[in-house]
Amino acid sequence: MISHPSCGFHEVGDDHPESPNRLHAINDQLIASRLDAIIDKQQATQATKEQLYLAHDKAYVDSVFASVPEQGIVELAPDTQLGPRSLEAALYAAGANVMAVDLVMQGKAQQAFCAVRPPGHHAEYAKAMGFCFFNNIAVAAHYAMAQYGLERIAVIDFDVHHGNGTENIFFDDERVLFCSSFESPFFPYNMGPGNEHILNLPMPAGTYGDEFMQAIGDKWLPKIDAFAPQLILISAGFDSHYEDDMGHFNLVETDFHWLSAELKKLAVKHCDNKIVATLEGGYALNALGRSVIAHIKGIME
Ligand SMILES: [Zn+2]
């Protein structure tokens, strides 16, 4: 697991759901589950500007750097604010993903989970959105392609919200198979048309785990298998949990565990077990902590 204390310093108000308490909730359940004693923990390094430019418009990245306030809060998009230490947190969040790619590609770890914030999957090529500044998983994918020459990367996103930023960044890049399941109609309301390598899976409010598992088993798993990824990346969002009021899905820990274990089987089959996952949403703190444990167990065991 990769994280950094600075990911707790991105604070934009006590009533904002994307709060430092999310990481505390995960750590709490890591200890309670005893996974804490088993897994290797590493401190992230910051992503460089050059690494961010792999996935984002240079002028956009530079504008985020230039927007950081010395005090107070600057709003880049609705609900998407920078505080004085938010950029630092965002650089560690993206940097954790880069480090995770290095660890699995160099055989130093088989799977890596990045317990980081701010999240990333709503951040588009040149736009902050939905609590996200830099698209952490897109930086990971681009870095893996640039640094290790990978040509087939599967990116799986099971957050309750569509991974519009990831779709936007990879829409014309056939090296990435992007699979996003999400509540629809719902924020961000801009699901693209999808294409051969962008597999959008919209589902209605009230979706339960059996419907979720059946849809993913029918529509994604055979295509990921046929794609034969050289690396599996996961945008792990847990706001699709039954207890999470940010969305209206009815998933529970066993559903996250099931999908994670299915992805693990595909990773074993195609890419020597290489999985990098990063935290996206998940705002009901108790459910978030339990769900992350189920997810980590799914990709590890
Ligand atoms: Zn979400």
List % helix, strand, coil for the chain (3-state, nearest 5). 45, 20, 40
Confidence at residue 227, expressed as pLDDT on a 0 to 100 scale: 98
Taking the centre of ligand 1 as the mean of its atom positions, its distance from the CA of residue 155, in whole angstroms, is: 16
For ligand 1, the distance from its centroid to the CA atom of residue 159, given in whole angstroms, is 5
Residues 111 and 161: their CA atoms lie apart, in Å, by: 24
What's the pLDDT band for 191 if we cut at 50, 70, 90?
confident
Task: Quick: pLDDT tens for 280-291.
Answer: 999 999 999 999
Which of 102, 158, 105, 144 has its CA nearest to residue 274? 105
Strand, helix or coil for residue 180: strand
H/E element, 32: helix 21-32
pLDDT-derived band of residue 193, with 50, 70 and 90 as boundaries? Answer: confident
Type and span of the H or E element at 279 = strand 275-279
Which residues, other chains included, contact 259 with Cβ-Cβ below 8 Å and sequence gap of 6+? Answer: 156, 158, 212, 213, 216, 298
pTM over 0.85: yes
CB 139 within 8 A of CB 47: yes
* Residue 161 is a catalytic residue: no
Position 185 scores a pLDDT of 95
Contacts of 254 (CB under 8 A, 6+ apart): 209, 294
pLDDT at 138 over 80: yes
Give me the percent of the chain exceeding a pLDDT of 90: 97
C-alpha 239 to ligand 1 mean position (Å): 6
Q: Pick the catalytic residue: 10, 121, 122, 142?
A: 122
Distance 250 CA to ligand 1 centre (A): 14
Is pLDDT at 192 greater than 80 in this prediction?
no
- Residue 112 has a pLDDT of 98
